[in-house]
Amino acid sequence: MSGLTVISASDIAEHATRDLAFSAVEKALIAITKPDSLLFPVTIGRGLPDESMVAIKSGMSAPEGVVGLKVGTYWPNNRHLGLANHGSTTLLLDPGTGMPTALFNAVALNGLRTAAANAVASNALARPDVEVLLVVGAGHQARCEIAALCDIRPISQVMIWSRNPNHAAELADELSTSASIQAFAQFSTQFSTQFSAVSDLEVAAGEADIITTVTPSTQALIQSAWVRPGTHISAMGADKKGKQELDPRLVEGGKLFADHPPQSVEIGEFQSAAQQELIREQDITAIGRVLTGVCQGRARESDITIFDSSGIALQDIAVAQAILEKIRREGGGLKVSF
């Protein structure tokens, strides 16, 4: 009989930090570029409601000594029941025996690791002098992205656009009247970040130094002609076939990076441009190779750099492992026989 540690949402809230996520995700992005780390095919299914979705991502990393999987769910009517539409559960396995060792309520963890990946990539690829951020989307993940980017770069202005203008206005107002972002931002003593909702996406895209797209869109939202030279774009909404946030011509003209290039052309943001034969997988650099200095990131100030964050299992299990180790040191979690 083995022992299983069950880690609840309250455990995550108590022990998870962005610094922990930054470190774990950076290690995962580097690990996936090594031959002794593997990702396995993503399985996407559904439940009883027609628009529900179940996505299973799994992987292993020998250098980090982690094996596990994440189950992501989308049940569109959950909000009417007082539940989150998006769910996330991570399971770690003992790398020596395959027995389950830890089960995580990973809803908050998923948002943390996704934002950490985009922040780490943006830090590596964006120009040193960036200050203006445009976030396309105003849901829960947008909050995570803003917090992470404000923590890792001195962002002085955040513009928020949503297809529902009320959502953008509500988020901008929430952030403007709360200390939640500033309290965690290491640059808050130097910069007073201003938050605003914007209605004209074209104008906002032309003013931004960094654009982060955080939507479930199935058609291009950001057009090639809108984006000025030197902009960095992180796109994280595309995680299955048919999703798209960027104009394929924008992708064609950009300098391309991804958490995992083979996945980015299959289910990520670069799938549309690849299908139109505007780019090839070989045109995409794994961000882990930039983080280790093996490959170059931004070459010129005028480069439009684009990072596709379709999400890989190694990020999930690396962050989960880091949380588990912290909980074992500090106490927490529910230990059960299994």
* Tokens 């690396």 -> residue: 318
Q: d(Cα 92, Cα 107) in Å, to the nearest integer?
A: 15
Candidate list 27, 34, 57, 70, residue with the active-site label: 70
For residue 286, give every residue at least 6 positions away whose Cβ sits within 8 Å of its Cβ, in sequence order, or none.
29, 32, 33, 257, 258, 259, 260, 261, 295
Yes or no: say if 254 and 223 are a contact pair by the CB < 8 Å rule. Answer: no
Residue 289 CA to its chain's centroid (Å): 18
70 is catalytic: yes
- Helices and strands, counts by H and E, the chain: 12, 18
Sheet holding 194-197, edge to edge: 194-197, 157-161, 132-136, 210-213, 232-235, 305-308, 255-258, 284-286
**Residues acting as catalytic residues:** 70
